[in-house]
Amino acid sequence: MKSRKLLMIPGPIEFESEVMQCMAVPTPSHVSPDFIDTFANSLKLMKEVWQCPSGQAFIVAGTGTLAMDMAAANLIESGDKALVISTGYFGLRFAEILKRYGAEVDILEAEVGDIVSLELIEQQLKSKSYKLLTFTHVDTSTAVLNDAKSIGALGKKYKVLTVLDGVCSVAGEEIRQEDWGLDVVLTASQKAVGVPPGLALLVASQNAMQAFGQRTSPVANYYGDWANWLPIMKAYENRQASYFGTPAVNLVIALEKSLQLIVKEGLDNRFDRHKRAGKAMRAAIKALGLELLSKNEQVSANTLSAPLYPSKMDTSSFLKDVNQEGVILAGGLLPKLKNNYFRIGHMGSVNKSDLLATVGAIESALKNNGYSHELGSGTVQILKHF
């Protein structure tokens, strides 16, 4: 029997075998010539995948929350005004991080499953002079997708630094950082970038780096201070050894491999594959008679889905039953609604077989829990759309 289960949560995801092999190579010195070349190439490839050729890339051992923390710590000084566009759990987390560094934070919070309208965002930007605007491209708690291009345009129009939390979107959803005027785009390694957990990744625009250089107070986070990390990144870019904190060596080797695979696939091809996967999964969920947490197709992410449980079904054993079918899904994350929905990740190396296995497991678990539907009605939608 195959004991390994298919991991279809919104991160960590299923990783390419070539990437996983990098985790098993003997760990080299972080200042060895080969590793310096790997780090330099990873920084270069990040700017290619983020589509920000003039930006400054950072690779730091940590998580997506560290990347959020670094953006806030380096761009905010006490008393600065920040606007947070929240579409779920992680938008509110960003607001809390900003407050820790003394920001005066205003929050525009969407209804669950929806986005804040561009008209409302612009109205708020007109009402006050903000230094920073943050938004979650895809909120992992709600599977809601924001219009990053349009929000970036508003940031440029009102001369506010714009930070995109792309933890659940970079390398899955379309992002053209430089063209869209996004000053910081950040993510974590274990999502669509396709590397095991442990790296905080971000690219900062020249505009963001200039704002950082004009600070009048020290950064309140020692580990996350760009003043400590920028010389390291510059040294690696120039193929020179440098040290501040030991990098996660094998993870960086894996990062280079995954970024190479992403570029080889082609960014437009990759974005299209995720769109097809998202569309197929949503069609399958609807064919089963289930509703989605996201309000409509226009605001639905392509990297994950958040279906609502059937209203009259006992859901206490549903995820366990899916697990018994060989697939691992995630429960709800919003505290008030966590028992009302579940989450399916479909990003990175996801393929048709993964989607078919996942929907098949969901159908079996629904049947086992007394929910009546036409068996196969979900899987046929995967075949039709992906």
pLDDT digits (tens, 9 = 90+) for 221-263: 999 999 999 999 999 999 999 999 999 999 999 999 999 999 9
Write down the pLDDT at residue 133.
98
Average pLDDT of 312-321? Answer: 91
Q: What percent of the chain has pLDDT above 70?
A: 99
pLDDT tier at 313, thresholds 50, 70, 90: confident
pLDDT tier at 2, thresholds 50, 70, 90: low
Average pLDDT of 347-353? Answer: 97
Average pLDDT of 337-344? Answer: 96
Write down the pLDDT at residue 168.
98
pLDDT tier at 3, thresholds 50, 70, 90: confident
Question: Would you say residue 1 has pLDDT above 60?
Answer: no
Average pLDDT of 50-73? Answer: 98
Q: Check residue 117 and give left, alpha or beta (phi > 0: left; psi -120 to 50: alpha).
A: beta
What does each C-alpha distance from 30 to 90, 219, 247 come to in angstroms?
A: 33, 26, 7
pLDDT tier at 312, thresholds 50, 70, 90: confident
Tens of pLDDT, residues 64-99: 999 999 999 999 999 999 999 999 999 999 999 999
Write down the pLDDT at residue 132.
98
Write down the pLDDT at residue 378.
98
**CB neighbour burial string for 229-254, b if at least 16 within 10 angstroms, e if fewer:** bbebbebbbeeeeeebeebbbbbbbb
Q: How far apart are CA 323 and CA 358, in angstroms?
A: 10
Question: Would you say residue 376 has pLDDT above 80?
Answer: yes
Write down the pLDDT at residue 96.
98
Write down the pLDDT at residue 147.
98
Average pLDDT of 179-203? Answer: 98
Average pLDDT of 299-305? Answer: 98
Q: Specify whether the CB–CB gap between 75 and 132 falls below 8 A.
A: yes
**Helix 64-75 crosses helix 206-213 at what angle (to 10 degrees)?**
50
Average pLDDT of 339-347? Answer: 97
Average pLDDT, the chain: 97
